């Protein structure tokens, strides 16, 4: 039996530290499942594990892509499943850790139904429709899913004039990296491993305090300079991210630096709330207080064999 120990929870809760402890205990590798830690140009603002942490356990999918690449959740699913198959040839365990719910679901379940689309993708499609009109959506769908476009043309061409439906088709294609039609009448994807989900949680006040402290640390470590270096690429999807968007507004002289920092904290707190809402949907998760001794978590995992 192959087991994928999956660590979930809100940002700044301690998932990285736990994953390293478990990787050393089970002598296995870590698959990072954070949709922004993939990008090598984004280090401080995405809280990438430190060099010391990465040296303590073998990590995959950390800063392995460029923001200039078009890397989707569909791409990640394909690459991560292939990497897990490789790892499971020599080990019964692997660890999946991260706070990106859509990407976690892609690994555990695959796209057996229409995926949730990141707000940044949805906003981008909507903005381009507002600027370029319905023709943009039609052309985009014809490129991203020519088979489905042809089906619409033959069976119900009026759909091509429906902005809401067309935006949905395009955002699914853009957000997943797969044709919209690939999600129609699809059977459940099978996985060659058994997932064991453990979640870390804390009182909301504690989570918020940890987030505020993390943002202050990021600023002290040079987030401002990192964001400045990326400012020329601010329109890229990868940079539609909390911690960068707010500083871009500061660079545009729309807000003050102090206000930008407070906005980063506020928006990160909101993000953590959405993370918990997403993860709490899975009834198979065993939740632990973030201060639970690691030994108790290991004891639980051993009981699931």
Annotated binding site for ATP: 9-16
Place of tokens 């999600």: 183
As given in the structure block, the two tokens for residue 119 are 């707000």
| Binding-site residues from annotation for substrate | 11-16
How many C-beta atoms lie closer than 10 Å to residue 277's C-beta? Answer: 11
The dihedrals phi and psi of 35, each to the nearest 5 degrees, come to: -70, -10
| Binding-site residues from annotation | 9-16
Residue 273, judged by CB atoms within 10 A of its CB (0-12, 13-18, 19+), counts as middle
The answer to whether the CB of 131 falls within 8 A of the CB of 41 is no
**Size (the chain), residues:** 305
Q: What is the DSSP string of 163-219?
A: HHHHHHHHHHHHHHSS-GGGGTTPPPPP-SSEEEEEEEE--HHHHHHHHHHHHHHHH
The answer to whether the CB of 43 falls within 8 A of the CB of 73 is no
């Amino acid at each position: 039996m192959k087991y994928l120990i999956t660590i979930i929870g809100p940002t700044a809760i301690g998932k990285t530290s736990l994953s390293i402890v478990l990787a050393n205990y089970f002598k296995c590798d870590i698959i990072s499942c954070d949709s922004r830690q993939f990008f090598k140009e984004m280090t401080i603002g995405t809280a990438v594990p430190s060099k010391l942490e990465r040296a303590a356990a073998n990590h995959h999918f950390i800063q392995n892509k460029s923001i200039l690449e078009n890397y989707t959740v569909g791409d990640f699913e394909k690459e991560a499943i292939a990497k897990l198959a490789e790892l499971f040839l020599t080990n019964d365990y692997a660890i999946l850790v991260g706070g990106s719910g859509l990407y976690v679901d892609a690994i555990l379940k695959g796209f057996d139904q229409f995926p949730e689309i990141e707000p940044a993708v949805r906003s981008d499609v909507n903005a381009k429709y507002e600027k370029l009109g319905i023709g943009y959506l039609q052309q985009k769908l014809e490129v991203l899913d020519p088979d489905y476009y042809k089906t619409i043309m033959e069976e119900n061409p009026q759909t091509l004039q429906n902005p809401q439906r067309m935006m949905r088709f395009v955002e699914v294609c853009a957000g997943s990296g797969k044709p919209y039609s690939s999600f129609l009448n699809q059977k459940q994807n099978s996985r060659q491993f058994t997932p064991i989900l453990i979640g870390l949680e804390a009182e909301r006040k504690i989570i918020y305090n940890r987030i505020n402290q993390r943002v202050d640390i990021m600023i002290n470590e040079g987030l401002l300079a990192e964001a400045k270096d990326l400012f020329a690429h601010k329109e890229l999807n990868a940079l539609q991210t909390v911690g960068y968007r707010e500083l871009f507004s500061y660079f545009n002289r729309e807000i003050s630096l102090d206000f930008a920092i407070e906005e980063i904290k506020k928006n990160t707190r909101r993000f953590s709330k959405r993370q918990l809402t997403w993860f709490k949907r899975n009834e198979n998760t065993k939740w632990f207080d973030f201060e639970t001794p690691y030994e108790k978590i290991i004891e639980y995992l051993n009981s699931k064999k």
